Chains A and B, each alone.
Chain A
Amino acid sequence: MGERGSGKALVMAKRDLGAFARHLAASYLVLAPIVEGGVTRFAVAGVDDIGGFGDRESVPAPSKRPLKEVFFPQEEVLLAFDAGGKVEVAAGAAAPADEVTRVAFGVRPCDARSLTLLDLVFDAADYKDPYYVGRRQGTAVVTFACTEPGVACFCTSVGGGPSDEAGSDLMLVEAGESYLVKPLSARGEGLLRGFDAVREAGDVELAAARDAEARAVGRVARDVPVDAAVEKLAGAFGDAVWEDLYRKCLGCAVCTYLCPTCHCFDIGDEATRAGGERVRNWDSCMFPLFTLHASGHNPRPSRKERFRQRIMHKFNYFVENNGRVACVGCGRCVENCPVNLDVRRVLETIAAL
């Protein structure tokens, strides 16, 4: 978001990463991947958490829970009401401030890219979600290029890559004992203001970063024929292949809730006698309740239709509506599916129809 930065590459010593994190924490609320009860998620990071990043050999571990919840939380109050008729709209809906107050730090390129897809939904020309837009405009994204993509990763098959810059304001790329620091927007440049441990990158560091990027691309485990699958999906709605594809699906929401681009929600009132709140929660197309009509009719009566919906939405409907697939290849759905129903295999099967 915002205007592009100067693009001039800078460099900082790896040991200064902790200092940079503390520099950010002095001016912004820093959200970083934090382990809570064995689960990594983006949460408000204390100085100790952030400082620790500098001691690590490599970048923060990928978070199990996706970055989306920083902008589109699982549960949020839209407004509150009381029995007397008083309605109070939650502060998040106020006109978005242009001032950056939060930094998402330690983001992976796939998660940063997911924001550019969520923007198409929540910050579209015909509808702007004030809660989302407010958070988005007030948050800068500091991304670490991947050096060691995981075994479930397939970012390069969906237009991304281990050092994809989409959605990031500042990107750090490992270059030997240093990080190459790439400001990608005016906001990214703003984050560096007052931090003097950076200097202009030399040829050696630029070359090291290029090597690291190339190595990382080579380590992305799988090349998935996404374009071919997208093409085939246009005529595959009634194909018998879904019968085979869905069979082992358990119908849980692990894939959709951990997906950085799934964005479906439900709005309901949580009320007591005295008043209540109108809340927005994540919802999942994998649940029967998602499409259950008040009449009792369900247009997606079985797991087959629901499974097909997830694939069709990501790789057909979203493409038709927005021109891009709604997937960043982060591999969370692959890694966390209780029965290893792998979307990469699904796409390969469809591409081969």
Chain B
Amino acid sequence: MVTGDSRAEITQRLRDIARDLLERGEVDVFIGYEEGSLPLRTTPAFITRPDDVSRLTWGALCENNLATYLPKFEGRVGVVVKGCDVRALVNLIVEKQIARDQVKIVGVPCQGVIDRRKLAGAVGEGPPVRSVEETDGFIIVRGSGFEKTIPVQEMLSPACATCVHPVPVLYDLLAGDEARSRGACPREDAFAEVERFAGRNVEDRFAYFAREIERCIECYACRQACPLCYCPECFVDRQSPKWVGRWRDLSDKMVFHLGRVLHTAGRCADCGACRRACPAGIDLRLLSKQMEKDALEFFGHEPGTDLEAAPVLATYRREDPDDFIL
């Protein structure tokens, strides 16, 4: 198994880079990760003083996509990105939400992030996990009267399994060795899950999404965690006209989720932030993964990989497929 650079090495490089950027005044703030307040959590850290860089950490629990803090960012910023995170950032630059020269992109060749729900399942019911130790390749969880050692690779977020670009496609500085990132998923395998799902009949598929979306509590954590959901006013918040009722009707919740998926079509690079943020554990990836596939197949567009490529839904070419229009 490829274990990649050790966590400690990457952590040290991130601290050195952050110190350097702050000391030389190249950035006003450096956004990375620090230890969280719970055993399985890290938390975004906004570092403004070189002396604080020792707070920074790295590991398979660094799950948040920090690009979500960058739309309309004021000042110069350094940001730690994984392979998926930077694709959101590329979109933000293309869509003029942040200028390329405003941001120092600090890439980490990604080894995948842990899915906390999967891990909770592996630990099982019973007393809570009280401490976690991450070694290279393994995570050791402990609670009163138990200890389990679990391979990180088995606990990875589902988005990691289909990741085609574990090494950031764009960066100013790289905190790790490219060759030692997690192996990329072959492109032809990346959409296997959505293809399987698309093979089911339409009633089945609708029933699946209805069951998922029914659990939505309309907290909008998915939207807020998404780096691409930066509209100053979301369509569901419009009062006049009121597009969506705030009511127990499933169709209202559906309109929100389907609208969001369509709005991020050709932009979403499947970082999984929406799914992770959802307190109801709704499978929010399946539809957006289908959009990613459509963008690639219909328009030859791979979201967030090219600073020069215009957003698919904001451009028109004569050869764009239109056979789905009656």
Contact = CB atoms under 8 A, between A and B. Distances in A.
- Indicate the size class of the contact surface on chain A: 35 or more
A36 B215 contact: yes
Interface in A220-276: 244, 247-248, 250-254, 257-258, 266, 268, 270
A318 to B, nearest CB: 22
A74 B38 contact: no
Contact of B42 (A279, A289, A340, A345): A340
B44 interface: yes
A202 interface: no
A334 interface: yes
Nearest to B239: A289
Nearest to B117: A38
Interface residues of B, number: 44
B247 interface: yes
Nearest to A76: B248
Interface in B215-263: 215, 217-221, 223-225, 233, 237, 239, 245-248
A97 B237 CA distance: 38
Contacts, number: 109
A116 interface: no
Given A334-B38, A336-B279, A250 B247 contact: no
B280 A39 contact: yes
A65 B215 CA distance: 11
A37 B280 contact: yes
A151 B224 contact: no
Which of A257, A339, A342 has the most B CB atoms < 10 Å from its CB?
A339
A344 interface: yes
A75 B248 CA distance: 7
B130 interface: yes
Contact of A248 (B39, B46, B127, B223): B46
Contacts of A159: none
A138 interface: no
Given A39-B280, A250-B68, A258-B279, A339 B44 contact: yes
Nearest to A258: B279
A174 to B, nearest CB: 14
B188 interface: no
A92 interface: no
Given A37-B211, A39-B280, A148 B128 contact: yes
B64 interface: yes
Nearest to B46: A247
Which of A252, A287, A340, A345 has the most B CB atoms < 10 Å from its CB?
A340
A74 B219 CA distance: 11
A111 B219 CA distance: 20
Contacts of B43: 248, 339-342
B36 interface: yes
A110 to B, nearest CB: 15
A148 B143 CA distance: 11
Contact of B37 (A279, A284, A289, A334): A334
A344 B37 contact: yes
Interface in B110-140: 117, 125, 127-130
Contacts of B237: 287-289
A254 B127 contact: no
Contacts of A257: 217-219, 279
Contacts of A342: 36-38, 43
Contacts of B44: 248, 339
Interface in B160-194: none
Contacts of A299: none
B13 interface: no
B247 A270 contact: yes
Nearest to B273: A338
A254 B221 contact: yes
Contacts of B246: 75, 266, 268, 279, 281
A37 B281 contact: yes
A152 interface: yes
B253 to A, nearest CB: 11
A250 B224 contact: yes
A338 B46 contact: no
B224 A252 contact: yes
Contacts of A38: 117, 280-281
A2 to B, nearest CB: 32
Given A38-B281, A151-B129, A281 B37 contact: no
Contacts of A339: 43-44, 64, 225
Contacts of B217: 65, 74, 257
Given A257-B217, A342-B37, A250 B129 contact: no
B38 A252 contact: no
A150 interface: yes
A148 B219 contact: no
Contacts of B245: 270
A149 to B, nearest CB: 8
Nearest to B242: A268
A342 B41 CA distance: 11
Given A151-B39, A248-B46, A287-B237, A253 B221 contact: yes
B219 A151 contact: no
9 smallest beta-carbon distances between A and B, as pairs: A338-B277, A252-B221, A340-B43, A250-B224, A252-B224, A253-B219, A342-B37, A340-B36, A340-B41
Interface of A: 36-39, 61, 64-65, 74-75, 148, 150-152, 219, 244, 247-248, 250-254, 257-258, 266, 268, 270, 279, 281, 284, 287-289, 334-336, 338-342, 344-345
30 contacts: A37-B214, A38-B117, A38-B280, A38-B281, A39-B215, A39-B280, A39-B281, A148-B127, A150-B128, A151-B38, A151-B129, A151-B130, A152-B38, A247-B46, A247-B69, A250-B277, A251-B224, A252-B220, A252-B221, A252-B225, A253-B220, A258-B279, A279-B247, A281-B247, A287-B237, A334-B37, A338-B224, A338-B225, A340-B42, A342-B37
Given A37-B280, A250-B68, A250-B221, 15 more contacts: A37-B214, A39-B215, A75-B246, A148-B127, A151-B129, A250-B225, A252-B220, A252-B223, A252-B225, A254-B221, A257-B279, A284-B219, A340-B36, A341-B43, A342-B37
